[in-house]
Structures are given as structure tokens and as C-alpha cells.
Amino acid sequence: MGKANVAQPMARVIPFPGVVLAEPEPPPQKEYTCALCDMTSLDTWDWCVCETCRAYIHTECYWGRVASLDEWRDFARWTMSDDGGEWLVPTTCPACRAAKGSA
């Protein structure tokens, strides 16, 4: 009894002249869920990440429900400035804000 009809993986593929081998597809993107509204990363692509607990909040929820007036004021000043740097103010989710306020 031999190894008849058993498929063996090829160790190396040599294409015919003029044939281009396709690159492997990238792995599927990890799916995230917003900590506030349960929207998934399949629905939106713009996310804020909490600096403390690494929870994902989509940008609309963060700026519409979480951000304080001081953060809005700082953001407005940053957008109106000419320095063109990256927005470096840390993002904090509501649970971490509550924990910091009670500590």
C-alpha cells in the first residue's frame, strides 16, 4: 500500500514565463466594537483609543458624547493654529474619567 492519491504540499512554485504569482491576501482586519454605542469597525473606520484601558470609541461618539468643553476648546485652538502638528491630547473613555474623578 503506497501513498496513492495523497496530495503533497508544494515546497516551491515555479511560474511559467510571463506569469506573475499573486501576493497572499492580508489577514482580515480585527473587528472592534465601540464602548458606547456598539457600532463595529465594519460600520466605521475612524476610532479613538482610550489611553488608560485601550477601549475603542468611534470618533463621533467621543466628540459627541464624551469630550469636555475644555477638550473642544483645545481642539478648536489646535485646528486654527498654523503649527500643523499631530493632535497629541490623550483620549479617555467615560469609565476611566469616572475612576479618575473618584480617585
Asked if the structure places residue 12 within a domain, the reply is: no
pTM of the model: 0.58
49 part of a folded domain: yes
- Structural domain harbouring 97: 31-81+89-103
Closest-CA residue to 43 (of 27, 56, 52): 56
DSSP state letter for 14 = -
Cα dist from 20 to 9, 17, 26, 44, 46, whole Å: 20, 8, 18, 34, 35
In-domain check, residue 16: no
Write down the pLDDT at residue 103. 45
Closest by Cα among 34, 36, 50 to 92? 50
Question: Does 95 reside within a domain?
Answer: yes
Domain count, the chain: 1
**Residue 66 forms part of a structural domain:** yes
How crowded is residue 89: how many other Cβ atoms within 10 Å of its Cβ? 12
Write out residues in the chain with pLDDT < 70, as ranges: 1-11, 24, 26-29, 44, 84, 102-103
Query: For position 72, which CATH number holds?
Result: 3.30.40
